[in-house]
Structure 1
């Protein structure tokens, strides 16, 4: 079978699942909170007088909880299948995100803690609607062009970055920041959930690519315990930590950062849209390159791009073209990083325990993406400028990309598990 025929075969069988997955990622808990919370800073300062650090702390709450729960939700997807985990979590995420609109209007001390508690609920429920779940199914449908398929799947975050900031600004300006949460929650509830219900599923055993199966038809791969004894697991973990710590705060604080430099809210929203285009390009280009070249040759140069973004953002003022370029390069590298987490998990550790291992590698992404925004905000609150943390971020991006050069070649095969891993809710293997 020729390369083009294999491409058509994989995509002809899996395109509806991929389409549903793109919408699930776009409307899930991975992009939506990060794309809206930055625009709540100014209205919440005006209403409550809270500091930037206090206002952005919920994204840390959400991220830390989600990161700690990622291995658990990944193991549920391994055991019971992706469909149940992804769709139920998508429903819970939409409802809990909408509930943030119920934050009290009174300027009481308890209001801040109620607001935080609502974000706790989002973190507890939403993680199953992130790529931790959706990417497992795509890895099971695609092998020959897995990198491109994962790139397309993760375009969902690009779509969110393009659409959601403008939707959030419009909702805040016309209805208020509380109502904005309810309006944005319609995306998972009214779009992704019904489409996912009708289209999204894992492949049946006979539909899986033969390359991910043993002779007996079982998925192959190492266990989480074996993976965690492999130095490559920790190199990937460390790389993700460096990149996420540098990226998360720059992304979340971008609207406030641009406001400090004289850009209006609509211009900042346009920059965030350009950032989304960068993520879009990064997803596709990185995915296509991963199918053709070893990851180190792809990852290192692409993950150095946001260092230039941080350099462009230094200083007291910025013109829109420079801001747009900084946003695009930052987004491009973010697209590359998210592709790499899913791709490297499958290539270095196999599919038998993919959910658990991906969940553990998602943990530094969630943790440091969550801690980074309040670190950026705290630096701004205490020094009056984002420049000190942007200067450090330049080194974080370069170090994080360089670590991946140490991983070495992909394994040629994996051990076969003793038993099929996916069971139904009664515990019967499927």
Structure 2
């Protein structure tokens, strides 16, 4: 699009529809990249590896689960590095090479050796390469195209993880049934190779200066925003960081252990699967609904009541009552809040710190999310083993949800304009 054409497109379209008119292709690529990237795919195949790996190698559930924990921790620690690379070299380049690397490393799990060390090393490689194919990258690209409807755009992008939850398990089961468990990895890796990578090559890019929303630029045409050093010196950064840490600590294990938690309430496996479907519906509603509200209200005012919902859910899940209505509400509340959290990290990072160094700043804020999402399931499991119940952890999680949400109320008003250094 030429400068004249893009200017006419902006002026001829109302502000709210104009962003989607200009940025819908980038949003599509971000949606497909999120759906087929390293954020949802590994977690959606894990449950189908426990039995075959135990049968072939004698590894128990805990030993297999450590692989995904290594992946999550490695990816989280490297998120600021990939964010910095996106700031320096552009999101398109990082997204393309990370997708290629993710396809190769994830497929390499086909060659899992009969040693846990080898299995863990392969997951380490996936974490080292794949983080660039997660929202750390896609969120920066979208936030450069969308301002007035950024919350909704980010919500739509993150629906990709929900879409993966419907597609990947079916593909994993089909692969395992027809070709054995090893085939799960290269076959599922066809999703980033044949869907996300072509869409990224065709559509995903940063806007030209004349396409960029005016509020993102300084008077000299540079991207507005704090430097990384400026951001980490603000109280807003550390309030956000600690809030994300608490909420991820509370939610990560609750999601993974949800079938076992409802099992303690006397719910059978088939009904537990239905409960997980309700969690998925909550995720979808949270991402779209909260994204819509973020564009119209002060973010922390949206976040606090939403993050109180999972605290109520934890209360509903205490004890062993088999009241399905109460358990269903708990599942929906947990999913709704989890969908909201993913939106909030990117949205609030852009609003409080600007876009000039968004990648690295967002990467640092993604770190506690990824770390505790990987570690929290171990904590939940440990509490269950030590006490014979999830109740102690659920009570602690309820407190963490409320405190994490309340902390966001201390962020203060959005800055009117960030200045690039």
TM-score calculated relative to the size of structure 2: 0.90
Is the 1:166–1:269 Cα contact (8 Å) retained in structure 2? no
Is the 2:145–2:206 Cα contact (8 Å) retained in structure 1? yes
User: Which of 202, 224, 243 is matched with 1:198 structurally?
Assistant: 202
Q: Deviations 1:322-356 (Å, cap 9, x if unpaired)?
A: 55443322221111111110011110001111111
Distance 1:208 1:308, change over 3 A: same
> Within 5 A, what are the aligned runs for 1:275-424?
275-316=279-320, 318=322, 323-417=327-421
Is the 1:306–1:326 Cα contact (8 Å) retained in structure 2? yes
Q: Residues of 2 paired with 1:185 and 1:322: CA distance?
A: 38
Distance 1:321 1:153, change over 3 A: same
Question: Which shows bigger deviation, 316-325 or 87-96?
Answer: 316-325
User: Which of 36, 40, 43 is matched with 2:49 structurally?
Assistant: 40
What is the Cα deviation at residue 177 of structure 1? 4.0
What is the Cα deviation at residue 166 of structure 1? 4.3
Q: Tell me, which stretches of 5 or more residues in structure 2 are unaligned?
A: 1-9
Is 1:59 the counterpart of 2:68 in the alignment? Answer: yes
Is 1:131 the counterpart of 2:135 in the alignment? Answer: yes
Is 1:31 the counterpart of 2:35 in the alignment? Answer: no
**Partner residue in 1 for 2:240:** 236
Q: Residues of 2 paired with 1:293 and 1:127: CA distance?
A: 31
Question: Which shows bigger deviation, 143-152 or 356-365?
Answer: 143-152
Secondary structure (helix, strand or coil) at the match of 2:38 reads coil
**Partner residue in 1 for 2:4:** none
User: Which of 165, 168, 171 is matched with 1:164 structurally?
Assistant: 168
Number of residue equivalences? 412
Q: Tell me, which stretches of 5 or more residues in structure 1 are unaligned?
A: 418-430
User: Which of 68, 71, 79 is matched with 1:70 structurally?
Assistant: 79
Is the 2:304–2:408 Cα contact (8 Å) retained in structure 1? yes
Distance 1:394 1:212, change over 3 A: same
Distance 1:319 1:193, change over 3 A: farther
What is the Cα deviation at residue 12 of structure 1? 0.6
Is 1:151 the counterpart of 2:160 in the alignment? Answer: no
Q: Residues of 2 paired with 1:3 and 1:268: CA distance?
A: 51
**Partner residue in 1 for 2:96:** 87
> Within 5 A, what are the aligned runs for 1:98-137?
98-104=107-113, 106=114, 111-137=115-141
Is the 2:227–2:420 Cα contact (8 Å) retained in structure 1? no
User: Which of 226, 230, 241 is matched with 1:226 structurally?
Assistant: 230
RMSD across aligned positions (CA): 2.5
Question: Which shows bigger deviation, 93-102 or 402-411?
Answer: 93-102
Is the 2:83–2:360 Cα contact (8 Å) retained in structure 1? yes
Question: Which shows bigger deviation, 387-396 or 113-122?
Answer: 387-396
Question: Which shows bigger deviation, 352-361 or 253-262?
Answer: 253-262
Distance 1:238 1:51, change over 3 A: same
Secondary structure (helix, strand or coil) at the match of 1:352 reads coil
Q: Deviations 1:93-122 (Å, cap 9, x if unpaired)?
A: 122222223223x5xxxx222211111011
Distance 1:98 1:60, change over 3 A: same
**Partner residue in 2 for 1:423:** none
Distance 1:320 1:172, change over 3 A: farther
TM-score calculated relative to the size of structure 1: 0.88
Distance 1:244 1:186, change over 3 A: same
Secondary structure (helix, strand or coil) at the match of 2:226 reads coil
Is the 2:345–2:365 Cα contact (8 Å) retained in structure 1? yes
**Partner residue in 2 for 1:420:** none
What is the Cα deviation at residue 18 of structure 1? 0.3
Is the 1:267–1:320 Cα contact (8 Å) retained in structure 2? no
Distance 1:311 1:189, change over 3 A: farther
Q: Residues of 2 paired with 1:161 and 1:311: CA distance?
A: 27
Is the 1:23–1:192 Cα contact (8 Å) retained in structure 2? yes
